[in-house]
Copies of this chain bind each other. A is one copy, B any other.
Amino acid sequence: VTTPGAPAPGVTAIEPPALPAGLDTPALVIDIGIVEANARRLGDQLRARGVALRPHTKTHKSVALARIQLAAGAAGITVGTLGEAEVMAAGGIDDIFVAYPVWAVGPKAARLAALHARTDLALSVGFDSVAGAERLAAAAGSSGRPVRVVLEIDPGNGRTGVAPARAGQFAGAARDLGLDVIGVFTHGGHAYRGADAIAGAAADEVSSLAVAADLLLAAGIEPQVVSAGSTPTALAAATGPVTEIRAGTYLLGDRIQVFLGASPPDGVAIAIAATVISTAVDGQVVIDAGAKTLTKDMPDYLIGFGSLPAYPDATIERVFDYHAVVRTPEGSRRPALGEVVTVIPNHCCVVVDLHDEFVATRAGEIVGRWPVDARGRSR
C-alpha cells in the first residue's frame, strides 16, 4: 500500500498496514508480518553491535507478540508493572525485568513475593530509593534467595532514577539490605521532546550509565546489566558500557515514532479501522474512533489525534468519547459516508491498552483475533 499525496503538516507519509474488509469498527488491527520485520530489524541491528535486546512489552501487552520478539533473539522481556509480569509469566515467559521502582507494600508485596518464589522465573525489579529497596528486600521473605534488583539512574529525563554520581551509594545500600544488585538502567524519555533531542538523550543515557557502572564497580558490585531504554535512542545508546536496550514501541510503530525518524514509514504495524458515520456538518467528516479508541495523546509537534494516510490533507481535529471530527480542507478529497478508513494512532502503547483484542493480519488477510493479555494491568 502506498500513501498518495503529500504528508499532512508535521507528518511523514506513512505506508499503513492493509485493512481486511468487513471489520466491525472501530477495530484495532496489527499486521504480524510488519511486527516480525520490526522485531528482526532491531534485533539484528543490536546483535551486530553486541548489545542485547530486552523489549518493553507494555507496548503490546501480548504474550504472542512477546514470543515473536523472543524468537527474533530477544534476551528476555521488560514490563512496567507487576500485573504485566504476572500475565507474561503465566504465558510461559521466564525472564522478566520490571523496569519500575516498585513500592512493595501490602498486596503488592505479596504479589512480588509470589513471583519471586517461582524458581522457573528469572525476575529482576527496579529501585531508586533506599526505602523502596528495604521493601523489596522484605518481599524476598523466606525464599532463601535475594531479590535481583537494578538501580534506576536519571539520564536527564527528570522523571525517576537517582543522579549518576550517587549510584555507588544507593547500590551499596541495597546490597547491604541483602538484595542482589545486578546493574543499572536509564530511560531516555527526553528523546521524545523532538527529533533533534534524540542524539543528546542517547548520549546522556550512555554517559550516565558509564558513570553509574564505574561507581558500582568501585563499591565492589559487578554491573552485569547496563541497560538503556527507549525506541528513539535504541541504536545510538547501544554503545560503550551498555549491555542491553529496552525499546518497546519499535515493534508496532506509530505516528510519533515515524515523525521522530525512529520507525521507517513502512514500519507501522498498527492501525485503527474506523467508519465515517456522519457528514452532516459541512467541511468535515466524523469517524467512529474517538478518545476511547485513539486517546488524546498528542505531542505538540504533531497535528491531530491520529492521521489518515489515504487522506493526507485531513486532520483529526477534535475527539469525543466515540467520535472524531476529521477536518478536510475545501476542495480536498474526503472519505465518503460509510467508508472504512485507516487511522494511524499517535502513540501505540496507550491505544493498545484500550482494546481487549486485536485483529491480527498479514498483508490485509485476517490470521486471528489475538488477546491483549495484559490490557488494563496498570498496577
Using a CB–CB cutoff of 8 Å, the interface residues on chain A facing chain B are 22-27, 58, 80-81, 100-103, 105-108, 111, 128-129, 131-132, 152, 154, 158-163, 189, 275-281, 284, 286, 288, 290-293, 295-298, 318, 320-323, 325, 337-338, 349-350, 353-356, 375-376, 378-379
A378 to B, closest residue via Cβ: B292
Query: In the complex the two chains form, is A318's CB within 8 Å of B24's CB?
Result: no
Number of copies: 2
Given the known interface contacts A295-B295, A378-B293, A379-B24, the answer about A80 and B322 at a Cβ–Cβ threshold of 8 Å is: yes
Query: In the complex the two chains form, is B379's CB within 8 Å of A27's CB?
Result: yes
Q: How far is the CB of A128 from chain B (nearest CB, A)?
A: 4
Query: In the complex the two chains form, is A101's CB within 8 Å of B278's CB?
Result: yes
Query: In the complex the two chains form, is A353's CB within 8 Å of B354's CB?
Result: yes
Query: In the complex the two chains form, is B100's CB within 8 Å of A162's CB?
Result: no
17 chain-A/chain-B pairs, Cβ below 8 angstroms = A58-B321, A100-B277, A103-B275, A129-B278, A131-B337, A131-B338, A159-B286, A159-B323, A159-B325, A160-B281, A161-B280, A292-B378, A295-B295, A321-B353, A353-B354, A354-B354, A354-B376
Note all chain B residues with C-beta closer than 8 A to A158.
Answer: 281, 284, 325
Given A24-B107, A322-B378, 18 further pairs, Cβ under 8 A: A22-B107, A27-B379, A58-B321, A80-B322, A128-B278, A129-B337, A132-B278, A158-B325, A159-B278, A159-B325, A160-B280, A160-B323, A161-B281, A189-B320, A292-B353, A292-B376, A292-B378, A296-B296
